[in-house]
Chains A and B, each alone.
Chain A
Amino acid sequence: MNFELLKQTALADLEKASDDVSREAWRVKYLGRKSDLSLFLRSLAEKTDQEKRALGPQANALRKELELRFHGAVVGGRYRPETFRFDVTQPGVKHETGHLHPLTLVSRDILRIFVSMGFDVATGPEIESAYYNFDALNIPAWHPARETMDTMWLDLPELQKPLPERGQTGYQYPAGYKFLLRTHTSPIQIRYMETHKPPFRMVVGDGRAFRNEATDARHEFQLNQLEGLMIGTDVSIATLRSVIHDFFRGFFGPDVAMRMVPSYYPFVEPGVDITVSCVGCKGKNRACKICGGLGWLEVAGAGMVHPNVLKAVALDPKKWQGFAFGFGVDRLAMTKYAIDDIRLFMSGDERFIRQF
């Protein structure tokens, strides 16, 4: 069989076939079941291996070429028969990407901003020693704040000897203190300061904390904090205002206003609470669901690190000073996505997760 000749003839014929009917006739003639080429391909089965190997590929290549040309002539032609009309309004095939949890998304947003300002990201254990959770943070055993924290104590015995770092868990624990589930992420500030040299800029990346309290739409016994610390020789309340306001501008947008009011936390002095202008109503809607009509959202606690805390990590309060702050990641996520029930975060509900 002369493949080359067949090809020339077929292509010349195709050139002439100008309508649907003649093109269909061409297809039957050159590519149909009884076409020369098809018959030849079927006859290959009876040929010797050598012939098969020599002619098979050639015949198949020609078939492919002719199919391609036919397709080109039909699709590329000006005339488009009705049967080719395609309904583009049909639904696309369903595909889903995986979804990150909204708390992950918000935590990443927050950390990205702080990292851009040169803040280290630290982590620490969730099973914590009372020393790091309380004592080192200027909350001695008699302090009323211990009780207001609704601590969940654990049935782990106090250590007889300190547990060195890189032990079983990679975390170091002192001897003689009870174990608990951390009630805040501040212990990580202590652990960080113990193992780093000032000046410090750090935030805690992974902020699960625990309070033994009843759960409702605004409270969970498990909460997520994002805390940070900045210590230097001239880090002042003015710096606190600047850094935290910059953060909120980054998180909520450039127009956000910030206020600081006095507050009390044992590990800072002075202590303040931070509110930002409501991102939902900008203070203009008395019925706003996000701020309850107040125009302001309470978003963070902060203050200048207490000298006793600095002393606990062997820093001289005369030389070093700075601020610490903490946000509720849950609250920020609720604000950002207008989520009205904190319990959704831990619900594992795919109808919720797949929205992010």
Chain B
Amino acid sequence: MKISYSWLKELVPTRLSSRAMANALNESAFDTELTADPNVFEVKLPPNRVCDASGHLGFAKEVSRIAGKPIAYPDASFRASRARAQNHIGVKVDAKNLCRRYTAAYIENVSVGKSPAWMQKRLTECGVRPINAVVDITNYVMLEYGQPLHAFDADKLAQDKQGKAAIIVRRAHKGERITTLEDKSYELAGFELLICDAKDALAVAGIKGGRKAEIDRRTKRIIVESANFDPISVRQTSRALGIRTDASVRFENDLDPNLTEAALRRVCNLVESICSGSAAKGFVDVYPVKMKPIELIVSLEQASRLIGVQISAKTAEAAFALFCDSVKKQKSGTYVLTVNTMRRDIARAEDVVEEIARFIGYDAIPEQTVSEPVRPARIDERMEEKWLFQDIAVKLGFDEVMNYSLIEENDKQAFGIAPDSFVRVTVPVSGKYTYLRPGLLAGLLKNVRDNNRYFPSMKLFEIGRVYRKHERPDERMKTIVPEERSQLGLVLYGAKTDDKARREQFLDLKGYLEAMFKAIGISESEWRFETIIGDERWNGYEPSEFARIVVSGIQVGMIGNIAFWLYHDGYGVDMPVSFCEIEMDALYALRAKKYYDPLPRFPDALRDISVLVNPDSTASEIESIIQNAGSRFLYKAELFDVFVGSMPPSAGRKSMSFHLRFRSSERTLTEGEINKDMDLIEQALKQDEKAAARIR
């Protein structure tokens, strides 16, 4: 909102420079900025101060407090002709709950010329375009008092039976149209409040005037409206029609109905002096329920307790005087304050405390701690969990990225969930980011694509929330509820496109994951990577190159190489991407305390074994045959080589080689003990059809 510095100086004679005044206003009243025009402030009024401070007079009260000088109020007197307003205007308010007060003046013999230069200058400073003297006066008084006003040409209104210009305040009819002053036509839905004559709409109440009763050069008799409209109704209509005006902004923030009369008097004064009009005696005033000032009971003790410093009676009383109609001090020491109805922001004792705090200045309040006992901070597990995984990922050399929680239409292909499981934003940002992400893959693929130009390989991770609709089968009906989980996504990128390199990248990622499991205390025997044969739901992974990650029997995520069609065709990435997603809450719950495992006192015995296996056999199957062979001292079997023959005579053959470690906690193992275990293992392998064959 634009406020004129020179206007303020006229109302409060002060030597404060514009910069000094802006600083002081900032510190104790409103967010005030200097603009390119040294005479104009840009002020951000809080919504609950629009009523009292959007007019220069009300705003000047803050300046008066700062400068310590009283306000020089403008003259609002006028002569009044013999005519009586009520003989010329009839006002009927149909929508009583939307129009709290309707005050109207009737002025004759108006000559509509240009407004004086000083007025035009002020209007322009405040961002209002001068039009003609009458319209300019209504706008000027709005800027002065904060009360929006509107003038109608009385001769353009339909007359009622008594020959009076009839004003009806009612809701629109469905489908009714109004043409505004800018010649724009609007079709109305029916909830909008209108100012009408007996036939047509004259104005959208509190928002915009209509064409019909427009003031022009030939206008002689005018009706000036000074009304008070329901803020919610004005806001709804303003939004629905897409019209925002200086008037609507004020009404939306709830103005004081007691203000209409004073503003109207000032209009009459100015129309008399500028347009040589003669205002009729008395205003027509429909004001069924008078807004009365509220009374608040405030104690110095309460104010001191909230501010944290002892407030003296003198300070408090000086602050009260700025917004109260009357202040009574009771015997108990508490005050009964009658708050001026213009101060819509003061409705409770805490609001009074703010006035005192502003009065003494926030920066004058000392810094002070409290008397309460100290106790250790408790940290939400979800934070500990996030920090833990972040730290591990970084230790493993991954870089943390953050992506939007919202995704675009095109990103839906990166997720294997039903189309109706996506949570949708009803009005998306720039029409683009429509859905909440159900996983992290889409964002990470974009990151890979964008970084590809600069980095041939990368290791990225993201921790973030993912969302979807979840159908909860309740007793009879199904309930859709939001589901929000924390996921960890890891991406490896940089392998060549051939099968071997791509699969090695998978194992690389798998290795990082295993390191992560170990880091949170999960022992090797507890995790499994389960082959998924033919995922019927989604084909976003390379066939056979993905697995379910199971820890202690619970699925905690998926790992896999992303399918070519997705990373390449979908996201424009050139080379294979290995990706895994982990359900963080599930995995975090499985973490285990770590205990020291005594160092082995006797050396391991190491043997290697190579097994020619059935081509379909997996490493974990062969390993479990070895593990379950009944060996007494076998402690670990580690696969170190897989050979798949491509040329005769070994074409179609597959062999696996394992390092076998034997260990005893009691002694160094003898050759015989180891050989006995080896025999058991060899036998088990020979008997099992998965291994089926030769052992070297």
From A55-63, A67-75, A162-170, give the one contacting chain B: A162-170
Q: Counting CB contacts under 8 A, is B97 at the interface?
A: no
Residues of B within 8 A of A104 (CB): 390, 400
Contact A156 B400 (CB under 8 A): no
A-facing residues in B227-244 (Cβ within 8 Å): 231-232, 235, 239
CB distance from B386 to the nearest CB of A (A): 7
Contact A348 B308 (CB under 8 A): no
Contact B480 A156 (CB under 8 A): yes
Contact A179 B31 (CB under 8 A): no
CA A144 – CA B344 in complex, angstroms? 14
Count of chain B residues with Cβ under 8 Å from any Cβ of A?
101
CA A284 – CA B235 in complex, angstroms? 44
Q: Counting CB contacts under 8 A, is A233 at the interface?
A: yes
Known A236-B307, A347-B450; 5 more pairs at CB < 8 Å = A98-B461, A127-B484, A238-B307, A245-B367, A262-B29
Contact A222 B235 (CB under 8 A): no
Contact B436 A348 (CB under 8 A): no
From B143-151, B371-379, B550-558, give the one contacting chain A: B371-379
Residues of B within 8 A of A142 (CB): 231-232
Q: Which residue of B lies closest to A212 (CB)?
A: B429
Q: Counting CB contacts under 8 A, is A241 at the interface?
A: yes
Contact A155 B424 (CB under 8 A): yes
Total contacts A to B, CB within 8 angstroms? 268
B-facing residues in A333-356 (Cβ within 8 Å): 345-351, 353-354
Contact A123 B306 (CB under 8 A): no
Q: Counting CB contacts under 8 A, is A283 at the interface?
A: no
Residues of B within 8 A of A253 (CB): none
Count of chain A residues with Cβ under 8 Å from any Cβ of B?
91
Contact A354 B380 (CB under 8 A): no
Kindly identify which residue among A169, A215, A241 contacts B485, using a CB–CB cutoff of 8 Å.
A169
Q: Which residue of A lies closest to B361 (CB)?
A: A260
Contact A159 B479 (CB under 8 A): yes
* Residue of A201, A262, A349 with most chain B CB atoms under a 10 A cut-off: A262
Chain A contacts to B: CB under 8 angstroms: 96-101, 103-104, 108, 111, 114-115, 118-123, 125-127, 142, 144-145, 147, 152-157, 159-161, 163, 167-171, 173, 179, 181, 199, 201, 205-206, 208, 210, 212-215, 221-222, 232-239, 241-243, 245, 259-264, 269-273, 304, 306-307, 321, 345-351, 353-354
> What are 17 A-to-B residue pairs whose CB atoms are below 8 Å?
A97-B395, A97-B397, A98-B399, A114-B377, A125-B482, A144-B235, A152-B426, A206-B383, A206-B386, A215-B429, A237-B306, A242-B367, A259-B363, A260-B363, A262-B30, A304-B350, A304-B353
Q: Which residue of A lies closest to B465 (CB)?
A: A126
Residues of B within 8 A of A304 (CB): 306, 350, 353
CA A201 – CA B399 in complex, angstroms? 33
CA A304 – CA B353 in complex, angstroms? 10
Contact A205 B380 (CB under 8 A): yes
Contact A348 B372 (CB under 8 A): no
Q: Counting CB contacts under 8 A, is B262 at the interface?
A: no
CB distance from B694 to the nearest CB of A (A): 24
Known contacts: A234-B371, A238-B308. The answer to whether A127 contacts B436 by CB under 8 A is yes
Residues of A within 8 A of B443 (CB): 348
From B63-71, B334-342, B452-460, B647-655, give the one contacting chain A: B452-460
CA A273 – CA B46 in complex, angstroms? 12
Contact B425 A144 (CB under 8 A): no
Contact A168 B351 (CB under 8 A): no
Kindly identify which residue among B231, B377, B459 contacts A119, using a CB–CB cutoff of 8 Å.
B377
CA A104 – CA B383 in complex, angstroms? 11
Residues of A within 8 A of B28 (CB): 261-262
Kindly identify which residue among B308, B423, B429 contacts A155, using a CB–CB cutoff of 8 Å.
B423
Contact B484 A125 (CB under 8 A): yes
Residues of A within 8 A of B386 (CB): 205-206
Contact A97 B394 (CB under 8 A): yes
Contact B481 A144 (CB under 8 A): no
Contact A348 B403 (CB under 8 A): yes
CA A269 – CA B48 in complex, angstroms? 12
A-facing residues in B273-313 (Cβ within 8 Å): 305-309
Q: Which 9 A-B pairs have the closest CB atoms?
A: A238-B308, A236-B308, A264-B46, A270-B354, A348-B447, A98-B394, A242-B367, A260-B362, A238-B368
CB distance from B125 to the nearest CB of A (A): 23
Kindly identify which residue among A115, A167, A235 contacts B379, using a CB–CB cutoff of 8 Å.
A115
Q: Counting CB contacts under 8 A, is B497 at the interface?
A: no
* Residue of A122, A222, A236, A263 with most chain B CB atoms under a 10 A cut-off: A236
